[in-house]
Amino acid sequence: IFICTPVVTITKYFELLKPLIKSSCILTDVGSVKESIYTAAKNAGLENNFIGGHPMAGSERSGFSNSSDHLLENAYYIITPGGEVALDRISDFTELISSIGKLLS
Average pLDDT over residues 78-98: 92
What pLDDT does residue 16 have? 94
Find the farthest-apart pair of alpha carbons in the chain and give their distance in angstroms, rounded.
38
Q: Does the pLDDT value for residue 3 go beyond 90?
A: yes
What pLDDT does residue 105 have? 42
Contact 72, 55 (CB under 8 A): yes
Helix residue spans in 1-86 (DSSP H): 7-10, 12-17, 35-43
What pLDDT does residue 103 have? 54
Average pLDDT over residues 24-35: 92
Q: Does the pLDDT value for residue 102 go beyond 80?
A: no
Phi/psi of residue 52, each to 5°?
Answer: -65, 150
9-26 pLDDT tens trace: 999 999 999 999 999 999
| CA 84/CA 9 separation, integer angstroms | 23
